[in-house]
């Protein structure tokens, strides 16, 4: 979801050493973090909890979060949180800070988060808002300012994940490559060069992980009513 708007005008001065530390804790998220997401999705497929059709995106995400937590040992140096705020890039008050759908938060410094944004995809071609989050949020450093990677979840209601990946790649004008070691899963990764605000030491190179979680048979309440 796109929450809040405007340019990044944080008055805080960030130590470049802090940014290096922030990147180091999640240098390779594929095994640790993506694995927890897929475990949570498998749990949802088995449990089949009640998903609210009036608010599919938030409902699915809210149900995923405790299942991610259950898949963790509790001894990881991070925890999962639903709806955390990114205060680094908020505008001056009374503006609200950007809010992530999900994020893995570093226990040692809770300012450091690995964010995950979610979008419902009605069909493989309906990717406009998904792509907008990548280009207008992640690639402007408004999201994930301290991290050199983050993730997008596509909740696909109809069609094939490979077709969704093809459409996302077309709209982003980049390659979506298989995630090393996870070729059997429906996830991809794309590489980007971000626009870093003047005076900030945020990482410019950015990897975006794309996960397509299929929910065939789900329909938005508005579509049912129609």
Q: Quick one: tokens of 39?
A: 């475990």
**pLDDT of amino acid 30:** 72
Distance (Å, rounded) from C-alpha 199 to C-alpha 15? 11
Regarding predicted confidence, which is higher, 20 or 80?
Answer: 80
16 pLDDT tier (thresholds 50, 70, 90) = low
Residue in 90, 83, 88 with CA at minimum distance from that of residue 4: 90
Q: Which DSSP state fits 220?
A: -
Give the pLDDT of residue 168: 98
| pLDDT value for 1 | 42
User: Confidence class of residue 61 from pLDDT cuts 50, 70 and 90?
Assistant: very high
The rounded Cα 122 to chain-centroid distance in angstroms is 18
* Mean pLDDT of all residues in 67-94: 94
Q: In the prediction, which pLDDT does 137 show?
A: 97
pLDDT for the residue numbered 27: 65
156 vs 106: which has the higher pLDDT: 156
Place 29 in a pLDDT band, splitting at 50, 70 and 90.
confident
18 near 146, Cβ under 8 Å?
yes
The pLDDT of residue 8 is 41
Q: What are phi and psi of 124, to 5 degrees?
A: -60, -20
Q: How many CB atoms lie within 10 A of CB 185?
A: 18
Per-residue pLDDT, averaged over 196-203, amounts to: 92
Give the pLDDT confidence score for residue 5 in this predicted structure. Answer: 40
Q: What pLDDT is stored for residue 222 in this prediction?
A: 72
Tokens 């505008």 -> residue: 91
CB 129 within 8 A of CB 103: no
Express each pLDDT in 84-104 by its tens digit: 999 999 999 999 999 999 999
* Dihedrals phi, psi of 114, to nearest 5 degrees: -110, 100
Inform me whether the pLDDT recorded for 18 exceeds 80.
no
- Give the pLDDT band of residue 15 (cuts 50, 70, 90): low
Confidence at residue 36, expressed as pLDDT on a 0 to 100 scale: 95
Give the lowest-confidence range in 8-17, 100-109, 178-187.
8-17
Give residue 20's pLDDT: 67
């Amino acid at each position: 979801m796109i929450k809040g708007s405007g340019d990044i005008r944080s008055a805080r001065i960030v130590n470049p050493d802090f940014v290096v530390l922030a990147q180091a804790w999640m240098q390779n998220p594929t095994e640790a973090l993506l694995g927890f997401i897929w475990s949570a999705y498998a749990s949802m497929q088995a449990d089949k909890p009640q998903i609210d059709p009036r608010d599919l995106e938030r409902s699915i995400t809210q149900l995923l979060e405790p299942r991610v937590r259950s898949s963790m040992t509790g001894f990881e140096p991070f925890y999962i949180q639903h709806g955390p705020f990114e205060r680094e890039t908020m505008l001056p008050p009374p503006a609200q800070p950007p809010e992530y759908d999900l994020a893995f938060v570093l226990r040692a410094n809770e300012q450091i988060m690995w964010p995950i944004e979610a979008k419902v995809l009605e069909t493989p071609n309906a990717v406009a808002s998904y792509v907008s989050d990548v280009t207008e949020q992640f690639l402007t450093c408004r999201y994930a300012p301290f991290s050199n990677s983050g993730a997008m979840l596509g909740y696909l209601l109809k069609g094939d994940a490979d077709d969704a990946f093809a459409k996302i790649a077309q709209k982003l004008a980049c390659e979506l490559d298989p995630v090393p070691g996870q070729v059997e899963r429906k996830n991809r990764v794309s590489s980007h060069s971000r626009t870093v605000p003047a005076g900030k030491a945020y990482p410019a190179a950015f990897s975006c992980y794309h996960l397509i979680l299929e929910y065939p048979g789900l329909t938005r309440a508005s579509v049912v009513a129609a």
